[in-house]
Amino acid sequence: MSEPPPPEVPAPEAPAAAAFGTEDLEAARVLFARQCDFLMGAVTMDGLPGAELPEVAFAGRSNVGKSSLINALVNRHRLARASTEPGRTREINFFLLDDRLRLVDLPGYGFAKVSRGAARKFQDLGRAYLRGRPNLKRVYLLIDARHGLKAPDGEALDALDKAAVSYQIVLTKADKLKAGEVAAVAAATTAAIAKRPAAFPRVIATSAEKGDGMAELRAEIAAAAFA
Ligand SMILES: Nc1nc2c(ncn2[C@@H]2O[C@H](COP(=O)(O)OP(=O)(O)O)[C@@H](O)[C@H]2O)c(=O)[nH]1
Ligand SMILES: [Mg+2]
């Protein structure tokens, strides 16, 4: 039996693909094809690199796909360690792109395998970074497309709104759902953040595995970093 076509979900905001012209998409593609290297990992606020370059940070629950997304953005399979073991990324990892932009892999929140005290310490570091980083241009908050926004994500959104840090939601692992299901989660997420003061209104659905949404996300990042 053939599947009925997915329902048309009205997009409250223009779809991400329409937000950028061909030139913007191409410029972003070229930027992300440049040299990208691991710069350093930091375990304390004192250990952060200087604030002389713009940074965009990736945050989300452990296992949501942060490292995989960074790898996919720069087309490098093993740049950021993608691990199935929660809590392995306990530091803030910095990647330097084209000597002019840093991609920042933040510690995941909500791991089960580390002690509460240890988990809190990493979360405090992530939180301190988010609150006090003058060169932080935008935070990409990753949400598993299969789950949508959950309570721990709500806490992260509250913290970002309170700190007045611009953030944008990225749905990950879109390849695990049908297109209509992804559109429904994107629409629900867009509606859920509509009244949040620091939220950027466009929600981007991505698949690090298949490459969906990567061109748009690169263009969003370039626009946020160099605006
Ligand atoms: N199917 C699929 N799996 C993904 C995708 N992104 C990440 N994963 C898987 O999800 C798991 C966690 O990914 P990882 O990048 O380590 O998450 P992190 O803890 O947020 O850095 C790994 O097994 C990845 O292979 C995706 O777009 N599609
Ligand atoms: Mg990781």
Q: Measuring from each residue's beta carbon to the nearest atom of ligand 1, which residues come in under 6 Å? A: 60, 62-68, 82-84, 89, 108, 172-173, 175-176, 207-209
- First vs last Cα of the chain: how many Å apart? 50
Domain-embedded: residue 5 = no
Question: Which residues, chain by chain, have CB under 5 Å from ion ligand 2?
Answer: 66-67, 89
pLDDT band at 76 (very low <50, low <70, confident <90, very high): confident
Domain-embedded: residue 36 = yes
Domain-embedded: residue 180 = yes
Domain-embedded: residue 92 = yes
Pocket test for ligand 1, best of 63, 76, 105, 140 (most atoms within 8 A of CB): 63
Q: Which one of the ligands is nearest to 142 CA?
A: 1
How many domains, the chain?
Answer: 1
pLDDT band at 10 (very low <50, low <70, confident <90, very high): low
49: left (phi over 0), alpha (psi -120 to 50) or beta: beta
Structural domain harbouring 170: 16-226
What residues contact residue 46 under an 8 Å CB cut-off, 6+ apart? none
Instruction: Look up the CATH number of the domain holding residue 24.
Output: 3.40.50.300
Pocket test for ligand 1, best of 68, 78, 89, 204 (most atoms within 8 A of CB): 68
Q: What is the pTM of this model?
A: 0.88
SS3 of the chain: CCCCCCCCCCCCCCCHHHHCCHHHHHHHHHHHCCCEEEEEEECCHHHCCCCCCCEEEEEEECCCCHHHHHHHHCCCCCCCCCCCCCCCCCCEEEEEECCCEEEEECCCECCCCCCHHHHHHHHHHHHHHHHCCCCEEEEEEEEECCCCCCHHHHHHHHHHHHHCCCEEEEEECHHHCCHHHHHHHHHHHHHHHCCCCCECCCCEECCCCCCCCHHHHHHHHHHHHHC
| Spatial distance between the Cα atoms of 200 and 194, rounded to a whole number of angstroms | 9
What residues contact residue 52 under an 8 Å CB cut-off, 6+ apart? 135
Domain-embedded: residue 8 = no
Domain-embedded: residue 67 = yes
pLDDT band at 5 (very low <50, low <70, confident <90, very high): low
Q: Are strands 55-60 and 136-144 parallel, antiparallel or unpaired?
A: parallel
- Give pLDDT, residue 117: 60
| Spatial distance between the Cα atoms of 202 and 5, rounded to a whole number of angstroms | 24
Domain-embedded: residue 52 = yes
Domain-embedded: residue 11 = no
pLDDT in tens, 108-134: 876 444 445 655 555 678 888 998 899
- Give pLDDT, residue 69: 97
pLDDT in tens, 159-218: 899 999 999 999 999 999 999 999 999 999 999 999 999 999 999 999 999 999 999 999
